[in-house]
Chain A
Amino acid sequence: MVYARKVSGRTLTFIVSGKLWRNSLVMQDRETGTLWSHVTGEALHGPLAGERLDMLSSVQTTWKQWVARHPDTRVLRKDARIRGSRYEAYARDPSQFGLFRSARAIRKLPGKSIVYGIVRAGEAVAIAAKALEDAGLVHLNVGDEAILVARGRDGGVRAFLRRAGGRELRFRREGADGRVRDEATGSTWDAETGRCLEGSLAGAALEEIAVRPAYWFAWVSFYPDSRVVERPPRPASN
């Protein structure tokens, strides 16, 4: 997750609190000692309780894909001896769900299913990874906003408000180059940046919003009423 770490004009510095809430990391700011959920950005306990950090969009991809698209990127210096995830066994084990048993039911999907979570205006939706497998695109409405979720050629999943030129848009995958075309104007868009490359909407850009990859069991412990998109809707039959 990426958050703007400024609250009411004050820049905060976060450390690892050593605490867990809903099986997830709790951050602590050094300035006030307040505890924050890294999943929701909410201050849970302490002087700033009730405040919320602004979540910024980010994406999971591979180093090769990222640097090819962003040759000017800056990278956190890393010890080259780190060559794997310490959570690999945990990630592979379908029966291990965090450290503590959750009181909430895990139905609808297997607990370790990967979902991409979006929350808008208090409404939560989890898009199952398999819903993005075929077309790589999912259209949905969350909290009254029309949203496009797209898997890029870099494997990353991003979400955009699918509105431009004063109208709501729907897209189709176009060829194998990662471009998409909107049905209303036939303009061509880059599904990784949200920019319109060609057509009457050329120059327009869809606003990217934050999407959170998560295990389903974790997502549902934060958002028990979350809707689930399990697979792309069937195309309308004639």
Chain B
Amino acid sequence: MRTRLVPAVPLAVLLLAPPPVAAAPSDPEVFAEVGGDPIYTVLAAGANPAILEPELVSGGEAAAQMLPEEPVLGAIVGGEARAYSLWQLDAHEIVNDTAGGVPIAVSW
């Protein structure tokens, strides 16, 4: 049977809005305008904590923290495989990592 991911994975990518702000702030501050669209300031810089020094574990160790159907962002960079739980990325939005000697930024 072919796996269909779409119902299982929220695919929030591209619109990660800061968490529980239910509606647009009534008077959002416009920081600048780029390409005809405003850059809005919604939260203080760093209010959602990006991961700056990622702690990595092996697949075996991760088994205790991950559910089988948990959605992940997977990448192979410089020959090294990396997986990031999308549920975890919801809260952090950015991970600064290095894989196979290549500094990477994972964003969600």
Contact = CB atoms under 8 A, between A and B. Distances in A.
A203 interface: no
A87 B9 contact: no
Interface residues of B, number: 92
A45 B28 CA distance: 18
B56 A76 contact: yes
B22 to A, nearest CB: 9
Interface in B18-40: 18-21, 23-25, 28, 31-32, 34-40
Contacts of B68: 62-64
B105 A2 contact: yes
A19 B56 contact: no
Interface stretch (A139-147, A150-158, A159-167, A179-187): A150-158
Contact of B69 (A60, A63, A87): A63
Interface string A28-63: 100000010011000011000000010011111111
A11 B103 contact: yes
Contacts, number: 303
A24 B14 contact: yes
A136 to B, nearest CB: 7
Interface of B: 2-6, 8-21, 23-25, 28, 31-32, 34-52, 54-59, 61-77, 80-88, 90-97, 99, 102-108
Interface of A: 1-6, 11-28, 35, 38-39, 44-45, 53, 56-67, 70-80, 82-88, 90-91, 97-101, 103, 114, 129, 133, 136, 153-156, 176, 212-215, 217-219, 221-222
